[in-house]
Amino acid sequence: MPVLTSTYNLPFILKSGFISTVYSGLFRKVKGVTQERERITLSDSDFLDLDWSYAAKSASKLVIILHGLEGNAQRPYMLGAAKSFNDNGIDAVCMNFRGCSGEANLKFKSYHSGETKDLSEVINHIVASKSYNDIYINGFSLGGNVALKYLGEGNQIPVQVKGSVVVSVPCFLDGSSKALHAIKNKPYAIRFLRHLINRLKQKQKVFPELISKQDIRSIKTLKDFDEVYTSKAHGFTNAADYYTKSSSLQDLGNIKIPTLIINATNDSFLSSECYPIKEAETNDYLHLEMPKFGGHVGFYVSTNMYYNEKRALEFISIKK
């Protein structure tokens, strides 16, 4: 599909990618979403938690919402998406990746940018236990990469899955890793790494034979974390192998379900490869929108229904 022209604009002070990212992540408040938790057991005997919220009337449509790195179902962008769908007659389920729902998961492995098996299990569970006619996926950041990879890497996708909208997606992981290590992104990198290290310290106590305290002390950067833990725990040779095999960019040409990618051009987390213009122009199912503003998941609108939420509703309404 042709690359879409974006109509998004916002107040001058928020045109800074840094300010829109920080404001939306730290200061946005979303009220009026009531979530009900469901815990499911995965095929390897681990678990993950799903947080459901419902439209006022019985709905035939469902959106599965996927969070970003070290996120969870209660992050403002997750609640904002769920609220916009619920308010417009669509049920929502926010999927917490392994270990992200407030309780450590049972296995040494957890989640990563290319882990699609858990999403596949969640979708199959919903198809088997619910009666939704139309299911959509709304992924943010890391969760967006998971969604794109799920759709394009050759999984058996149920017919109920009708489309996806992904936002601020690092679809080329090596480039995004380098971007996150840039000086301008140091505050974000430090924050992410602190959360990851704290989680890994808890795992070390349970699995001392798989990772040592010395291993953890050697981690100084996000790439170190992927080198020491992510790659080893999930079957990759090293961080470079993980980035190569888990990037969704290579799978975009295979997507056969209507998909909208919204990546702001002032998103400092994304490298140039994360704007897949060629792939969008050569795949009729792939739509790419590149607003000038919005930073990383920071598409502020004064009504508190963010631009990406409005676009997701529009896209879902069109792609029936």
Q: What is the CATH number of the domain that holds 273?
A: 3.40.50.1820
Q: What is the pTM of this model?
A: 0.97
94 and 16 in a single domain? The answer is yes
Q: Which two tokens stand for residue 279?
A: 């792939």
Q: Which of 205, 228, 246 is the last residue of a domain?
A: 246
Q: What is the pLDDT of residues 191-203, one digit of tens each?
A: 999 999 999 999 9
Q: Which of 222, 246, 270 is the last residue of a domain?
A: 246
Least confident of 70-79, 187-196, 310-319: 310-319
Whether 168 and 144 have beta carbons less than 8 Å apart is answered as yes
Which is nearest to 279 in space by CA: 143, 139, 148?
A: 148
pLDDT of residue 318: 67
* Mean pLDDT value across the chain: 96
Beta strand residue intervals within the chain, DSSP E? 36-41, 47-53, 61-66, 91-95, 134-140, 161-167, 259-262, 286-289
Tokens 């045109």: give the residue: 15
157 and 108 in a single domain? The answer is yes
**Angstrom distance (rounded) from CA 223 to CA 225:** 5
Q: Which of 213, 246, 279 is the last residue of a domain?
A: 246
311 and 165 in a single domain? The answer is yes
193 and 273 in a single domain? The answer is no
257 and 280 in a single domain? The answer is yes
**Angstrom distance (rounded) from CA 66 to CA 20:** 21
In a domain, residue 240? The reply is yes
In a domain, residue 222? The reply is yes
Amino acid of residue 281: E
163 and 305 in a single domain? The answer is yes
- Across 16-45, average pLDDT: 96
In a domain, residue 56? The reply is yes
| Residue 182: pLDDT over 70 | yes
- Across 281-303, average pLDDT: 97
What is the b/e burial string over 75-104, where b = at least 16 CB atoms within 10 angstroms of the residue's CB?
Answer: bbbbbbbbbbbbebebbbbbbbbbbbbeee
242 and 254 in a single domain? The answer is no
Q: How confident is the model at residue 81 (pLDDT cuts 50, 70, 90)?
A: very high
Number of structural domains (the chain) is 2
218 and 114 in a single domain? The answer is no
149 and 283 in a single domain? The answer is yes
264 and 177 in a single domain? The answer is no
Domain range enclosing 234: 173-246
Written in H, E and C, the secondary structure of 56-69 is CCCCCEEEEEECCC
Q: What is the pLDDT of residues 159-181, one digit of tens each?
A: 999 999 999 999 999 999 999 99
In a domain, residue 7? The reply is no
What is the b/e burial string over 239-274, where b = at least 16 CB atoms within 10 angstroms of the residue's CB?
Answer: bbebbbbbbbbbbbeebebbbbbbbbebbbbbbeeb
**Angstrom distance (rounded) from CA 104 to CA 281:** 42
Q: What is the pLDDT of residues 101-120, one digit of tens each?
A: 999 999 999 999 999 999 99
| Residue 2: pLDDT over 80 | no
pLDDT of residue 319: 52
108 and 257 in a single domain? The answer is yes
Q: What is the pLDDT of residues 256-291, one digit of tens each?
A: 999 999 999 999 999 999 999 999 999 999 999 999
Q: What region does 45 belong to: left with phi over 0, alpha with psi -120 to 50, or beta?
A: left
In a domain, residue 6? The reply is no
In a domain, residue 1? The reply is no
314 and 222 in a single domain? The answer is no
